[in-house]
C-alpha cells in the first residue's frame, strides 16, 4: 500500500516557514518521498504500519494550514497517469523477477 500526504501550508511569517520546513523534514526522515511539491508518499506493508505512520504524521502536524492523507493499494497507485513530466527515480517500475532490498 502507499500512504500519500498532501499539504498546503502558509509560508508568510518566519514561524510559518519554520513549521513548513519541520513538517517536510519529518516526512523525509519518516521515509516519505516527494512525488511532487507538497505531495509525499511512502510504502507501507500492512494496516498496522499504516496506523503507526498515520499516528506519527498526526503527532507532527503543523499548527496551521491544510494536511490530508490518503492510503491506496499498489495497483491503484500504479494506475496513476502522469500527464506532464517524467516519472521520478523512486517511481521506476521493478520487474517481477527483480528483487528490492530495504
Instruction: Sketch out the chain's domains with CATH numbers.
Output: 2-78 (3.30.70.240)
C-alpha cell at 17: 516557514
Residue 64 CB partners (closer than 8 Å, separation 6+) = 9, 10, 16, 19
pLDDT computed for residue 101 by the predictor: 53
Distances in whole angstroms, Cα of residue 63 to Cα of each of 26, 51, 66: 14, 21, 10
User: Does pTM top 0.85 for this prediction?
Assistant: no
pLDDT digits over 70-98, tens only? 999 989 988 888 888 777 776 665 554 55
Q: Is 90 exceeded by the pLDDT of residue 5?
A: yes
| Residue found by looking up cell 494506475 in the block | 79
Amino acid at each position: 500500500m502507499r500512504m500519500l500526504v498532501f499539504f498546503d501550508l502558509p509560508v508568510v511569517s518566519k514561524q510559518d516557514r519554520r513549521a513548513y520546513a519541520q513538517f517536510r523534514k519529518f516526512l523525509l526522515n519518516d521515509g516519505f518521498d516527494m512525488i511532487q511539491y507538497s505531495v509525499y508518499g511512502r510504502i507501507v506493508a500492512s494496516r498496522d504500519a499504516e496506523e503507526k505512520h498515520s499516528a506519527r504524521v498526526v503527532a507532527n502536524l503543523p499548527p496551521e494550514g491544510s494536511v490530508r492523507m490518503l492510503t491506496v493499494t499498489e495497483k491503484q497507485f500504479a494506475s496513476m497517469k502522469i500527464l506532464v513530466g517524467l516519472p521520478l527515480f523512486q517511481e521506476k517500475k521493478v520487474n517481477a523477477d527483480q528483487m528490492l532490498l530495504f
